[in-house]
Amino acid sequence: MAKAAKPPKPEEITKSLDYKKTPETHWMDTPVEFRPGMYCYGTRPKYLEEVGMPNPREWSSADEDWKLPENWKEIVLEGIADRLNKHRSFRLFMDICVRCGACADKCHFYIGTGDPKNMPVLRAELLRSVYRKYFTTGGKLLGRVAGARELTMDVFKELWYYAYQCTECRRCSVFCPYGIDTAEITIMVREIINLLGCNTDWIMGPVANCYRKGNHLGLEPHTIQSNIEMMCDDIEEITGIRIEPTFNRKGAEILFITPSGDLFGVPGVYTCMGYLMLFHELGLDYTWSTYASEGGNFGFFTSLEMAKRLYYKVYAEAERLGVKWILGGECGHMWRLWHQYLATFWKPPDNLEDPVSPITGTKFEHANSSKIVHVVEFTADLIRHGKIKLDPSRNDHLKVTFHDSCNTSRGMGFFEEPRYVIKSVCNHFYEMPENTIREKTFCCGSGSGLNSSEDMELRMRGGLPRANAVRYVHERYGVNMLANICAIDRAALPTLMQYWVPGVEVCGVHELVGNALVMTGEQKRTMDLRMEPLPGVEEEEEGEEEE
Amino acid sequence: MRLWEVLKERKGRIAAKWFEQVVATYPEETAKFLKSKRDPFSNPVGNTIKEGIEGIINSLLDKGEEVNTFLDRIIRIRAVQDFTPSEAVSFVFQLKDVVREELADMSDESWLTEEISLFDRRVDELALKAFDIFMGCRERLYEIKVDEMRNWTFRLLERANLLEEFERKKKNL
Amino acid sequence: MGVWFSLIVVIGLIVFPLIGVGLLGLNALFGIVVPYVALVVFLVGLIYRVITWGKTPVPFHIPTTCGQQKSFPWIKYSKLESPATGWEVFMRMFLEVVTFRSLFRNLRTEMGPGYRPVYGSTKWLWLAGIVFHYSFLIVLLRHLRFFRQPVPEFVSLIDSFDGFLQIGHPHLQITGVTLLLAVFYLFLRRIFIPQVKYISLPADYFPLLLIMGIAGSGILMRYFLKTDIIKVKELTMGLATLRPKVPDGIGVIFYIHLFLVSALFAYFPFSKLVHLGGIFLSPTRNLANNSRMKRHVNPWDYPVKVHTYEEYEEEFREKMKMVGIPVEKDVEEEKPEESEESEQKE
């Protein structure tokens, strides 16, 4: 070979490079390495103080010293013991895993990062090994041989690092023969982390905001009102119709609550405009609340107690305003919680009635206990009964695919309603490949409070499986719009698309509804809700002028 | 060129070997997963690398224009997978190793000495392109962080008539 | 490391009765005491585990929904994947336990490169799992003939089905072979699939090797080192009727087999093998997706600190009034003191 190859010796070039082979060590002997772009900053003390959580102090997750109380180990172990006695899921999932590996390649973070500790089974083993050491006879006696290990600061940091590389999406749980749900374990680990005040800033800030001001973004009542009025201005410009929504109005039939992300950012605001237009067109007797102004709940990413504290407002406000039932906007984790937790957290107040659509008379019997109805359910029922006039051709410039949010998919079973609505308001709808949708949907990579900018690399990797499926329909069918029913998706997917699949935009389902909705007395639509000209329309007009 | 003919003949084996080498830069358990013949949706990294490598070889031999597309696909992934810039693009140079290994049986033939340096130059060009793409991806990452901030606070910026200002500043970043 | 450790332990478990019975003649210890102790440990241990789980509350209603929820009559819902009633949950659990549905999910057709459908390799895990568990079950049932006199009819029936190939004498029983093959496959994948190897602990290799030992010794005893069946049955019937005795002339291979089985039983409650009981209690599978239809109560619910509307209005009253949002207290007096404190609510 040497004869032929005189110039640069390629082996030399490549071999001089430090290839990224992980040490060939057992995972217990491979200490965690905090890599920039893969984790979020630690919380500021003021947020912890505002809600009365332990150990507020200035610290950074990149620091060597996390400034934990001296008895931190005790606190962690007591925290584990306490939760083992309170959650059957937790105790069972600590005990019965057989490490068959069926979950291993189901995690979007494992697929995208290739880090073995992101295999759901190993993510759980990180804690399970500690559990064995302190809570099982075999682990106490045999130690490492029984898969047990000492709880050290490095182990705690490792638990932290990987608890914030899990979006609690439950995909692994679908494939586990015993239904072991890593989300349950991550939730417990995060609760324990919070006993020591080690939440991330990105989660804790919204929690503190939401507690006092009613919503994650910290919008005060007058700001909420003026934001919605700005949307109404835009709607007026687009449709010629002035909408006058009400706030904190007693005696309304329905209380409407949506994630605050829809009030402030794009493309969330367009979804919100869709709600406003639809409710106006129906003449719905509903009110917004500035107090219960958050559907989402970052408390869920902190501790179940914090989730309960933040959701006090929902039923309390429904009681104060004397409404009959509650309508909830498009949001993922909000609906996991509203569906599976809310009525357990707080008993629905007595003034609420079994929800009935005032337009179609449909009884939402599946919500008779909790009195909460998903806005997409509400709209699907309207369309089914032909109660709204739709012109799907106004969405003809869009080729739409639908991203099932993890939470509504695997924590609610919400698949057909959104598809029914989308197909009714759009003419071009394409599904992504089968094993990337519905109960097997891939996470956006930014759920459960990971959608900050400091962990952008992590998000881009975690979102790769989702983006890859979008790219497929983008290339094959020319899909240019990724619809979803989740506020975090609406915030995170545009970023993901910008990186992996430029040319695909993101919208909520009710933005598409708003586009297609034919309103009584509206002017000829020349723009969509983004105030971009509707393609066919202008040409038509020009044509008319020429005549 | 004779070399090109030979390479075209053997491009299947070259692609396979190159793929092996690229995948070997990942941890063992991951490498095995990347190599598994799963569908492109369950194993996007492995499939992208595979398709990318085949595409690069094809366009290298046929002087195709789309080499950037294929390079882009691989590098876009490596740009977020904590590789240093040199690590991220180094896989391009591995092609030289692979080809030499593949042609070991004819290393004595004189025409090869001459032609292989031409080939090397092609690979070097490819590496430079790869580096550009890598930098582009990293810049993109910073851009999207900025864009995301704008999206989050869209209404606030709009209210303060700051959107144009924001766009202007972004361009100057 | 895990493999070698487990292998040494299993070999140790074989050597034990070899010395104990073969050299020291402790037949009663290995034929009577050990099996009884193992059985007691198994029963007490497993019951203890199941009771511990059962006593641990299920505070939240957390089924993993893998199909369409029940909402409108015009949308077909998935009774098995998103059960709404107790009966549907029963069916979901039944199929999970009997057919390993969740593992089977991996079997779905997938798209290969060039968008050709291919089958995921994971079907092997499902197949090996199901062959292993059913073979084990049948082998276990077959062994009932050692513990009942007369032999129950269904046991003889299983016996004759199992030996349908009618090869050799006594007839080759197919489940013995499939059990060994399945265990061997499950073992090999822990050695050769790097991901699975990486996550495997001694606690994963040990039961597999132990079961290999059990099946191996059983097959040896039946087909090669023939043991006096009549005498074995005398011993086992003695155990079953609580009138234990140890007849002479039973080969040491039998004691090895019995000791390994005892080891498995005694080890069972302390190991991952308790998934046998645990699977029935898994809250992500055994709850109906009906949390909006029926309120789920958290048994340990406790009052928490909340931020009430009054406190909220207190802070923002002026701003609310300014933009015309209705308030509860439309007074300009100074704030009442008491509302400063947060309330505890349940």
The CATH architecture of the domain made up of B2-138 is Orthogonal Bundle (1.10)
Domain match, C124 and C263 both: yes
Asked if B42 lies within 8 A of A465 by C-beta distance, the reply is: yes
Residues C249 and C233 sit within 8 Å (Cβ to Cβ): no
B112-153, pLDDT tens digit by residue? 888 888 889 989 999 999 999 999 999 988 888 888 887 777
Q: Is the dihedral of CA A400, A406, A407, A408 positive or negative?
A: positive
Q: Residue C168: how many CB atoms within 10 A of its CB?
A: 11
How would residue C173 be classed by pLDDT, with cut points 50, 70 and 90? confident
* Minimum mean pLDDT range among A393-407, B149-163, C275-289: B149-163
Which of B82, B117, B155 is nearest residue A35 as measured by Cβ atoms? B82
pLDDT at position A74, please?
Answer: 97
Asked if B50 lies within 8 A of C197 by C-beta distance, the reply is: no
pLDDT at position B102, please?
Answer: 87
Distance from the Cα of B8 to chain C's closest Cα (Å) equals: 21
Domain match, C333 and C237 both: no
Closest CA to A247 of A310, A330, A351, A321: A321
How would residue C196 be classed by pLDDT, with cut points 50, 70 and 90? confident
HEC sequence for C109-166: EEECHHHCEEECCCHHHHHHHHHHHHHHHHHHHHHHHHCCCCCCHHHHHHHHHHCCCC
Distance from the Cα of B72 to chain A's closest Cα (Å) equals: 10
Which of A99, A313, A417 is nearest residue C71 as measured by Cβ atoms? A417
Residue of B19, B33, B39, B47 to mutate when probing chain C, most C C-beta within 10 A: B39
How would residue C263 be classed by pLDDT, with cut points 50, 70 and 90? very high
Residue by residue, DSSP assigns C198-220 as: HH--HHHHHHHHHHHHHHHHHHI
DSSP category for residue A363:
B
List the chains bordering chain C where 3 or more Cβ pairs fall under 8 Å.
A, B
B38-60, pLDDT tens digit by residue? 667 778 888 888 889 989 998 88
Residue of B91, B139, B151, B156 to mutate when probing chain A, most A C-beta within 10 A: B151
Residue C292 lies in a domain: no
How would residue C66 be classed by pLDDT, with cut points 50, 70 and 90? very high
Three-class secondary structure of residue B47 per DSSP: helix
Asked if B36 lies within 8 A of C121 by C-beta distance, the reply is: yes
Residue C96 lies in a domain: yes
A79-106, pLDDT tens digit by residue? 999 999 999 999 999 999 999 988 988 9
A514-527, pLDDT tens digit by residue? 999 999 999 999 99
Residue C296 lies in a domain: no
A342-381, pLDDT tens digit by residue? 999 999 999 999 999 999 999 999 999 999 999 999 999 9
Domain match, C191 and C332 both: no
Q: Is the dihedral of CA A333, A339, A340, A341 positive or negative?
A: positive
Residue of C195, C196, C199 to mutate when probing chain B, most B C-beta within 10 A: C195
Q: Average pLDDT over chain A, rounded to whole?
A: 92
Asked if C284 lies within 8 A of A308 by C-beta distance, the reply is: no
Q: How many angstroms separate the CA atoms of A90 and A88, rounded?
A: 5
DSSP category for residue A135:
H
Which of B94, B140, B154 is nearest residue A269 as measured by Cβ atoms? B154
Residue C178 lies in a domain: yes
Counted domains in chain C: 2
Q: How many angstroms separate the CA atoms of C204 and A100, rounded?
A: 9
Unique residue bearing structure tokens 């309103």: A519
Length of chain A (residues): 547
Instruction: Provide CB contacts within 8 A for A228, sequence distance 6+.
Output: A245, A263, A272, A276, A288
A147 touches chain C (CB under 8 A): yes
With contacts defined as CB-CB under 8 Å, which chain C residues touch A222?
A: 319-320, 322-323, 325
* Minimum mean pLDDT range among A422-436, C70-84, C153-167: C153-167
Residue of C100, C291, C344, C345 to mutate when probing chain A, most A C-beta within 10 A: C291
With contacts defined as CB-CB under 8 Å, which chain B residues touch A4?
A: 100, 103, 107, 112-113, 116
Asked if C113 lies within 8 A of B37 by C-beta distance, the reply is: yes
Residue C287 lies in a domain: no
Query: What residue of A is the nearest CA neighbor of B107?
Result: A1
B41 phi/psi in degrees, rounded to 5: -90, -30
Token readout for A362 is 């449909």
The whole domain housing C327 covers: 304-345
Q: Is the dihedral of CA C28, C30, C34, C39 positive or negative?
A: negative
Closest CA to A403 of A303, A281, A505: A505
Asked if C195 lies within 8 A of B41 by C-beta distance, the reply is: no
pTM: 0.90
How would you write the pLDDT of chain A (547 residues) with one tens digit per residue? Answer: 333 334 334 344 334 333 334 446 788 888 888 988 899 999 999 999 999 999 999 999 989 999 999 999 999 999 999 999 999 999 999 999 999 988 988 999 998 888 889 999 999 999 999 999 999 999 999 999 999 999 999 999 999 999 999 999 999 999 999 999 999 999 999 999 999 999 999 999 999 999 999 999 999 999 999 999 999 999 999 999 999 999 999 999 999 999 998 998 889 999 999 999 999 999 999 999 999 999 999 999 999 999 999 999 999 999 999 999 999 999 999 999 999 999 999 999 999 999 999 999 999 999 999 999 999 999 999 999 999 999 999 999 999 999 999 999 999 999 999 999 999 999 999 999 888 999 999 999 999 999 998 899 999 999 999 999 999 999 999 999 999 999 999 999 999 999 999 999 999 999 999 999 999 999 999 999 999 999 877 555 554 444 3
Three-class secondary structure of residue A373 per DSSP: strand
Residue C212 lies in a domain: yes
- Find residue C305's DSSP bridge partners: C344
B77-108, pLDDT tens digit by residue? 988 887 888 888 889 999 998 998 888 888 77
Q: Residue C256: which H helix or E strand, with range?
A: helix C252-267
How would residue B162 be classed by pLDDT, with cut points 50, 70 and 90? low
Domain match, C310 and C245 both: no
Q: How many angstroms separate the CA atoms of A63 and A39, rounded?
A: 13
Domain match, C195 and C308 both: no
Asked if B42 lies within 8 A of A435 by C-beta distance, the reply is: yes
A84 touches chain C (CB under 8 A): yes
pLDDT at position A336, please?
Answer: 96
Residue by residue, DSSP assigns A140-184 as: HHHGGGGT-----HHHHHHHHHHHTT-----HHHHH-TT---HHH
Residue C290 lies in a domain: no
C80 touches chain B (CB under 8 A): no
With contacts defined as CB-CB under 8 Å, which chain C residues touch B38?
A: 110, 120-121
pLDDT at position C109, please?
Answer: 42
Q: How many angstroms separate the CA atoms of B111 and B1, rounded?
A: 10
Portion of chain A with pLDDT greater than 70, in percent? 94
Token readout for C59 is 């505070």
Closest CA to A427 of A512, A302, A349, A325: A512
Q: How many angstroms separate the CA atoms of A419 and A400, rounded?
A: 11
